[in-house]
Each structure stands twice: as structure tokens, then as C-alpha cells.
Structure 1
Amino acid sequence: MTTERIAALLREHPVWDGHNDLPWEAREQVAYDWSRLDVAAGTAGRTHTDVPRLRAGGVGAQFWSVYVPSNLPGSAAVTATLEQVDAVRRLAARWPEHFRLALSADDVVGAWAEGRIASLMGAEGGQSIDSSMGALRMLYEVGVRYMTLTHNHNNPWAESATDTPAPHGGLSAFGREVVREMNRLGMLVDLSHVSAGTMRAALDVAEAPVIFSHSSARAVCDVPRNVPDDVLARLAGNGGVCMVTFVPSFVTPAVGAWRTAAGEAARAAGIAPNDHAAFSAFSDEWARDNPKPPTTLDDVVEHVEHVREVAGARHVGLGGDYDGAGGFADELADVSGYPNLLAALADRGWSDADLGALTSGNVLRALRAAEDVAARLQGEREPSVARIEDLDGPAA
């Protein structure tokens, strides 16, 4: 009975996931040549994500991450981001029977009506704009609908959760102006990866709902990448959504401790733990002698329920981070696993209304609200021409 209930729920309220790194996997594996990574036919064993498994998982909308490393210098990050954008647009164009590029909330609903998977884009880190308001606007023009303010490193105007503290303690004056301009554009402000100080500073400035595209609850797993309760509590007033991630080191305390130990070992070997590529390679090797503890479906459930308890049922969503991490719970091993999570929540007494809000209702509402705020702000103020050197002073 639960299986039938979840299947019916997903037909009405498909999953809208906040973060998937398939585009970067396509870069790494096949240099963006989709003819060599046929996600329509199936790519089991190579990726977490393909069309058959998206369909099995009830996924109706995906924020594809247009990620680039946060230690790429300046304009190189902008170029690499545009290559990621191009890859997503070509993904949708190559298999139009399965994907529809979506630029608005209405586009998402339209894709569902057509039986297609709405494909949106999120830039993972402010390095992608090279401290340029013009570059920010152009990312919006090519379809990017959220930007994570940082990735693993600080940028000149925002503080990351996994870097040394910045002098401004969160957002600089230019960083606050970036948030305002994102609100004027209708681009969602994504607070995954940022420090708690950046989270609070962004919420102080934001006029539209913020999201956490792939973060979990710090009270359940005490790691810097997760969201403190005081910030979760502010989402109700802001209208935002914390999209709970399935990444083991962010949901399972024992795995979080394992990652901390791996980070210490990496530093001793001269590798920075926030260097994503180098640390990933190091930790894979380190795990051979120091096995990673398992993570479970119940660990993820605990985070989803905690976010609902603190932020409210209208402020929780899902952001798996497939193809950007590994070692997921067995029931959540790839994008086909969402029904298993929903069934576990149903067994704990979640109503269909709350499950539908979790899968896509909440993020749909947040994007609509951001679009409404943008329509108002565009009638009130001109595009920002702020320059970082004018607001923050010369670079140190």
C-alpha cells in the first residue's frame, strides 16, 4: 500500500532535486561528448544519474550544478562555468523527449504536463562571476537560476564554511550587493557551502527566499557544511528552503568524524582538505586502510525530520548531490532511490501534503516568490554597476 501511495504522490508532486553534478562527470569522463555518455539509454556503473533511473525515482525537475573548482583563477572559472552551462543546454537539446530546459517556475510546471524532466541550472560558487555584476547578469541570461555564494574556498566577497575566517565575517559590502542584484534578477541565493556568518548576513539582506541546494542539519551532524538551528528557524520568515543532502559526511556523525580525520591526514601530507579534487583522490586512498563507516537511510530521515521540526514543513526539500559524492545509503544509492526515502517518511506519519511540499512544492513556491520579488525590484531600481574595488577597497 505504501508503494502505491508513493507512486501516486510522485505523479502529482514529482521530485525537484536541488543539486546534481552530472555535468562535471560528463566533463571528467567524456569531455562533454554526450554521444559517449548516453544517459537516455542508461549509464549504470558510470554515473548515479540517467533517464531510466530518474524516471524510476520520480524526478520531474533537476537543478543541474554547473560547478567549477573554487580554486580556479578569475576568468578561468567564468569560462569553465560557461562550458558547464553549454553541456546542460546540449543535454536537454539532445534528448528533448526526456528533458526540457526550464527558466521559470511556469517552465517547470509545463515540463511536468509534457511528461518531461525540467532542467534548471545552479552555479556552485561565486568564483563563477569573477566579482563582476555583468558576469552575474550574463549567467542569468544563459539560464542559471541559482548561485551558491561560495564553494570550498572563500572568494573576495563571501566566506566559505571550509576556509579560514574572512575579515568581513560573512559578506563584504560587495557581497551584500551581489545578493541584492540576485534578488533583482530573480536568481535564487544558495547558501550551501557558505559559513554560518555568510548565511546570517545573506538573510539580513535578502528580499526573496533563499535556498540551501544541498545541506543538512548541524544539530544532527555537527560539520561546518550543515545549517545551524538559528538559521533554519529564520527560513520561515524568509520563505526559503533547506534541501537536505544525502552526502554521508554531512548526514552521519561517524562519517563526519571520519572525514575530519582524513582532512587532518591530508594536511599532514601537504594537501588542503578544501581542494576538492586533490582531497577526493587522497581520501579514496586513505580509506583503504581507514574504512569509511556506513551511512543509512535513517540518518537521512533524521535530517529531513529535524529541518521540518525547526524550519517548518514549508521549508524543507531534497538535494541529493548525486555524481558529486559517493558512499550513499544503500536505499539511496542513485537517483532511483527517492521513493525509498518518501516511503520511510510516510511510515513515520508524514501526510501527503507534507510529502508533496518536500518533493517539489516548497522549492516551486520559493522560485515563484523570487520571480515576484524580481518583477517588483526591476520596477524600482536599475541593474547594479557596483565594482568590488569601490565597495571593498583594493585587493590585499
Structure 2
Amino acid sequence: MLNFSKLLLLTLLAFACAKPAEVKKAVADMTDEEVMAYATALAKQNIIVDGHVDLPYRMEVKGFMLKKKVEDVSVETEGNFDYPKAKEGGLDAPFMSIYIPSSYYVKGGAKAFADSLIEMTQNVATAFPDKFALANTPADIQANFDKGLISLPLGMENGAPIEDDLANVEYFFNKGIRYITLTHSIDNQISDSSYDTTYTWNGVSPFGEQVIAEMNRLGIMVDISHVTDSAFYDALRLSKAPLIASHSSCRKFTPGFHRNMSDQMIKDLAAKGGVIHINFGSTFLSKESRDKYDAMDSVMTNYRAETGLSRSDSAYKAFAKKYSEDNDVYADVKIVADHIDNVVEIAGIDFVGFGSDFDGVGDSLPKGLKDVSMFPNVIYELLKRGYTEEDIAKICYKNTFRVWNEVIKIAESIQGI
């Protein structure tokens, strides 16, 4: 039996001084087991940043907010993210999504809801200080990584909590928010949504223009996941700093799905220095999976109506699991690498990262990428396709760090620091 720890060490030593062409040739000569060992070593060696993980809302749904405590993610859980899984997969800096359902924009209470999710996330770091720590900058993440801690940077999904008060942008910056997704599933006071057909503003609203300027001033990344194409181009024009898509994928593979980005949008995002973080949900990755998922949803709806079962019933879950397996509903980890390939081909290696949407896309995660322990599977696919160690480091964290540091630098320039 191969000694896995020894293989990791030998693999890293062997590739430390190799040139890209030499690495490509060497990987081609490896067994699959050796490539996986190499991938796992790189996952542990590099900081891995994930642009979007929905742990905060997962805890809210499970009622932890009402219990005035946090889920024990220091141990193995049923969710996509927890400490043991993250350590196994090499995930070091998952952006905690402070997700605000659009209903809060309609009925009110968005700011208070955001505050509660932020507090709950902060409490995770407080409850498990030997495992987690907050992070407001790339330097914080590096320092936490050096200590063996998993960083919990904050990104707010939906600008609704800003309400109609520009001062709330700074309020949330002071709370630790380091990116804001301008909107979510409906048009809000800032921007139109790709899921809406109202086109309230035909892009970014006049107030949204002020919000983007204030985000630039403070050093908050502008996240254009969820916006319409016209809102994307407004944000691209308005922002003095590079943009991010925290959890989007390539529309090329999902024609007509405007939640993903077209090739031209990706090129234009990159031209201004931004980064697209690839979403792992099967319906973001493949038209075939989208079609199969829609068919499954119809079957499941009828099954619940016929049986009276709810989504939480074990019998329903078993039926859904068998249906998904029998009908090959979900995508495969290989297509995540296809999306990365596409970005690299049309824009370059410097403009792509990971934005999984773990704990946010339900059971639709692809085969081989069902939770955060499986990041090495993506790296394995990239190695098999000839990506170098430096390429993989850029995808894992360097591209995101570059944008984030540039956003900070521009903010300091605006403030005259």
C-alpha cells in the first residue's frame, strides 16, 4: 500500500523546481493515484478561497438564530461545509454569504436580518477560536493560514440591507462586509436582477450609482453575480475598481440562462482586471443538467402531491436520491474544469477562481464535488489538462487576492491615505 503522506512530500519536492512543460509531461506519466496525491498536496499547500458559501443562511434555516447560538461546525455535519471537511479539502477562506432573500426587500427588515447573520457568523469564530477566525483583508487570510485557522471573510448577497440610506454602506463595511452582490432574485433599489423581467432601472439605479461610488471609496468589492447584462455594463463603467462575480459560471454552457456570464461579459470583466468565480451548482454548469433538473422537479412536485410527503421526509429524500441516480441528473466535476478552461481560453489565467455556492444550491452539486472536502478533485482535473502549479495557485487564491488588494488600494487613493 502506498504511504500517502510520504507521496505528498515526495511529489511536492519533485515539482518544486520543475518548469511548466516538465510538470505537464510528468503529470502525463503519473498514475491517477499519483495525480490525485499531487492535487491533494497542492490543495493543502495553497490558500483556497471560495467566493461564496452559504453557511450563515444554513444556520438561520436550521433555527440557530432563534436558539441564540451557532451550529457546531467544528465537527462533521450533514452540510457541505464544516471544519473537518474544509481541512480535508484544503479550503482556507470561504466567503461567508450574508444572504438576504428578496422578500426582505419587499416586506422590510433587510438590515436587521443582515445584522443577525453577521452576528451569527462572528459567533462561529468566537465559539471555535482554535479553528476559525474573521478576516477583513487578504493579509488577514494569510496570517490565519499561517496559524492553521480557517478564515471567514464576509460577503453580502443582495444590497437590500443598505435600504435607502447611503450611510449603511459604511455601516456594513465596519461590520466586516467586503463584497456586496448588488441584488438577488428581483430588482431592488440598487440594480436590476437577472431573474427578474421588470427591468426597473434598465441597469443600475441612480441610487445604485452612489452605492458603487461609496463601495469604491471604502474598499468593498462590487459583485455582479445576479445582475442583468445591462446592470453589469453599468457597474463596469461606474466602478473605479475591478469587479468580481462571486458565484457565476459561463453562459456558453447554459444558453439562455442569464444568471451566468456570456463570453463577451467575461472578456470585459477581465479587461478591467476582475475575476469570475465559478459556481459549482449543476444547473449553472450544463444545459443538459438544467433540463434534467427541471424534469426531476416536476416529478418530485407530483410525488409530493400524490404521497403527502414533505421535502424533509426520509421517504421523499430516498425517492429523490434514487431518481437523481437513475436519471443521471447532476453534472460531473469535469465540467467545472470545462468552465475554467473557457475563461482561461477567452480571457486568461488571471481572471478565474472558485465560487462554489456550497450550502446554497441544495442537492444539485456535481458528482465528485458534493462538499468542500472535494476541492482536490477539481485540481486533479486541472492537472490532467496541463495546468501548472502557478496556474492552480492563481485559481485557488492569487487572482482573488489581486482584485481585493487593488480594491483596497483604490479606496486608499480615494481617501487620500
- CA gap 1:369/1:261 in 2 versus in 1, 3 angstroms: same
Change (3 A) 1:264 1:356: same
Instruction: Summarize the Cα distance change of 1:157–1:302 in structure 2 as closer, same or farther, 3 Å threshold.
Output: same
Give yes or no for the alignment of 1:237 onto 2:274.
no
| 1:313 aligned residue | 349
Shift in Å, 1:224: 1.5
1:103 correspondence with 2:140: no
Indicate which of 381, 395, 401 corresponds to 1:344. 381
Question: Residue 368 of structure 2 aligns to a residue in which SS?
Answer: helix
- Alignment correspondent of 2:9: none
Tell me if the contact between 2:249 and 2:278 (Cα under 8 Å) persists in the aligned partners. Answer: yes
- Contact 2:192 2:202 survives alignment (8 Å): yes
Q: Is the 8 A contact 1:244 1:320 kept in 2?
A: yes
1:65 aligns with 2:65: no
Pairing 1:275-294 to 2, within 5 Å after superposition: 293-294=329-330
The structure-2 alpha-carbon separation of the partners of 1:168 and 1:68, relative to structure 1 and needing over 3 Å to count, comes to closer
2:224 to 177, 191, 198: 191
1:159/1:166 contact within 8 Å kept: yes
- Whether 2:369 is the aligned partner of 1:332: answer yes
Give the secondary-structure state (helix, strand or coil) at the position aligned to 1:110.
helix
Worse-superposed segment, 327-336 or 292-301: 292-301
Change over 3 Å in CA distance of 1:205–1:74 after alignment to 2: farther
Cα deviations across residues 216-254 of structure 1 (Å, max 9, x unaligned)?
000122211100111100122211110001011110212
Which stretches in structure 1 are left out of the alignment for 5+ residues? 267-278, 381-396
> Cα offset for 1:259?
5.3
Equivalent of residue 371 in structure 1, options 382, 398, 408: 408
Which of 1 and 2 has greater Rg?
2
- Structure 2's unaligned 5+ residue stretches are 1-33, 301-310
**What displacement does 1:9 show?**
2.0
Alpha-carbon spacing, 1:131–1:254, altered in 2? closer, same or farther (3 Å): farther
Of 392, 395, 404 in structure 2, the residue corresponding to residue 358 of structure 1 is 395
Q: Could you tell me whether the CA contact under 8 Å between 2:276 and 2:353 is conserved in 1?
A: yes
Q: Hey, what does 2:250 align to over in structure 1?
A: 217
SS in 2 for 1:17: strand
**Deviation per residue, 1:17-42 (Å, 9 max, x gap):** 01011111111113235867321121
SS at match of 1:59: coil
Cα distance change, pair 233–263 in 1 and its aligned pair in 2 (3 A)? farther
Report the TM-score, using the length of structure 2 for normalisation. 0.82
| Matched AA of 1:322 | F
- The answer to whether the 8 A contact 1:74-1:127 is kept is no
Residues 175-213 of structure 1, C-alpha deviations (whole Å, 9 max, x = no match): 122111111110001111111111111001111111111
Aligned to 1:17: 50
Cα gap change, 1:262/1:134 in structure 2, threshold over 3 Å: closer, same or farther?
Answer: farther
Classify 1:286/1:378 alpha carbon distance in 2 versus 1 (closer, same or farther; 3 Å). Answer: farther
Sort the Cα spacing of 1:166 and 1:307 in 2 relative to 1 into closer, same or farther, 3 A.
Answer: same
Cross-structure match for 1:252 = 286
Say whether the 8 Å CA contact 1:30–1:37 is kept in structure 2: no
Query: Is residue 157 from structure 1 mapped to residue 190 from structure 2 by the alignment?
Result: yes
Alignment root-mean-square deviation, CA? 2.9
**1:376 corresponds to which letter in structure 2?**
S
Alignment partner, residue 308 of structure 2: none
User: Taking structure 1 as reference, are residues 258 and 165 closer, same or farther at Cα in structure 2, changes over 3 Å only?
Assistant: farther
The SS at the match of 2:87 is helix
Which residue of 2 is the match for residue 48 of structure 1?
80
Q: Return the alpha-carbon distance in structure 2 between the equivalents of residues 136 and 64 of structure 1.
A: 18
Q: How does 1:26-175 map to 2 (within 5 A)?
A: 26-32=59-65, 33=67, 37-43=71-77, 46-72=78-104, 73=106, 75-175=108-208
Displacement after TM superposition at 1:15 (Å) = 1.1
The alignment partner of 1:181 has SS state of: helix
1:320-354 CA-partner distances (Å, limit 9, x unpaired): 11111122122101110110010011001011111
Contact 1:34 1:91 in 2 (8 A): no
Q: Structure 1 residues 136, 251: CA separation in 2 closer, same or farther (over 3 Å shift)?
A: same
Which secondary structure does the structure 1 equivalent of 2:405 belong to? helix
Aligned to 2:173, the other structure's residue is in SS state helix
Distance in 1 between the 2:319 and 2:55 partners? 25
Does structure 2 retain, via aligned residues, the 8 Å contact 1:220–1:302?
no
Identity %: 30
- Native 8 Å contact 1:127 1:150 kept in 2: yes
Q: 1:11 Cα shift? A: 3.4
Contact 1:2 1:343 in 2 (8 A): yes
In structure 1, distance between residues paired with 2:149 and 2:234: 37
Q: 1:210 to 1:285 in 2, by over 3 A?
A: farther
Q: State the TM-score, normalized to the length of structure 1.
A: 0.86
**Alignment-mate amino acid for residue 347 of structure 2:** A
**Which residue is equivalent to 1:4?**
37
Counterpart of 1:47, as a letter, is: G
